[in-house]
Amino acid sequence: MPNSFVKGLVGFLKDLVIIVAAALLISFLVKTFLFRSFFIPSASMEDTLMVDDRIIVSELVPDVFALEHGDVVVFSDPGGWLPNYDTPDPDLITAALDLIATVVGFGGSDSEDHLVKRLIGLPGDRVVCCDDKGLLQVNGKSVTEPYIVTPSSGDAASGMEFDITVPDDSLWVMGDNRYDSADSRYNQDKPGSGFVPIDKVVGRAVVVSWPISNWTWLDNYAGNFANAD
């Protein structure tokens, strides 16, 4: 075998290794500092997010860009919100593919350790359910929420009445599927009394990326909360 061919093959393999390593490094940095992917394991955010949807989450929120009312946020369990899943071990091929996807930022292997809800109350906000029309009130202002799902038309924005003030460095969150969401309302007996520490927030969900039929940008309906700021 000619030396020139061997040298060329070695050079090609070396370049290939460098390209692959650089691509993995860039993908890892994107995942670590910019964007991550999660899948939706429950119906608590329907019809905004459906079970098994995949979402792209911006990790620039809240470290670079501030959280806003109406943001769809992903956060790690504040303590006792999630059940203990008995998840079967995947086969080797599935595990390998998910590992590769996770490394490059498009896996969702830790999705079941996180929750997705809509941000209703920021630090210092008073959130009350409900006014005489069944709407939530934030800082004394009624908020129209076109994204929520209720059992029947005209039902209140929450089946549970509450009157809370969000403490410093915390959030009050609720699912869009308002009568089928174990959110802040139903975790007031857990650590944090139902409030989510801001340092538990992974980021803001910005787009549904899969399946293609569900692709959409995720609106925070900030205008609906404008009078509550």
Q: In the chain, what are the domains? A: 34-228 (2.10.109.10)
- Which residue from 158, 155, 189 is spatially nearest to 175, judged by alpha carbons? 158
d(CA 158, CA 118): 14
Residue 27 to residues 58, 95, 162, 209, Cα–Cα distance (Å): 14, 19, 43, 17
- Please, how many CA atoms are within 13 Å of residue 172, restricted to the half-sphere of its CB? 24
DSSP letter, residue 63:
T
Strands annotated E in 68-161: 72-76, 114-121, 126-129, 136-138, 141-143
What is the maximum span of the chain, computed from C-alpha positions, in angstroms? Answer: 87
- For 225, the token pair is 């909360």
Please say whether the beta carbons of 70 and 221 come within 8 A.
yes
| Catalytic (active-site) positions | 44, 117
Strands annotated E in 77-155: 114-121, 126-129, 136-138, 141-143
Q: Report pLDDT for 10.
A: 57
Q: Report pLDDT for 20.
A: 54
Walk along the chain (229 residues) in steps of 10 and give the mean pLDDT of each run.
Answer: 57 58 48 75 95 92 93 95 62 53 53 90 97 96 96 94 97 98 96 96 94 93 85
Ordered strands of the 141-143 beta sheet? 141-143, 136-138, 126-129, 162-165
DSSP letter, residue 227:
G
Q: Report pLDDT for 210.
A: 86
Q: Report pLDDT for 225.
A: 92
Q: Which pTM value belongs to this model?
A: 0.78
Please say whether the beta carbons of 161 and 135 come within 8 A.
no
Q: Report pLDDT for 228.
A: 73
d(CA 74, CA 70): 13
| Residues whose CB falls within 8 Å of the CB of residue 201, separated by 6 or more in sequence, listed in order | 61, 62, 67, 73, 74, 75, 171
Residue 53 to residues 21, 113, 210, Cα–Cα distance (Å): 30, 16, 6
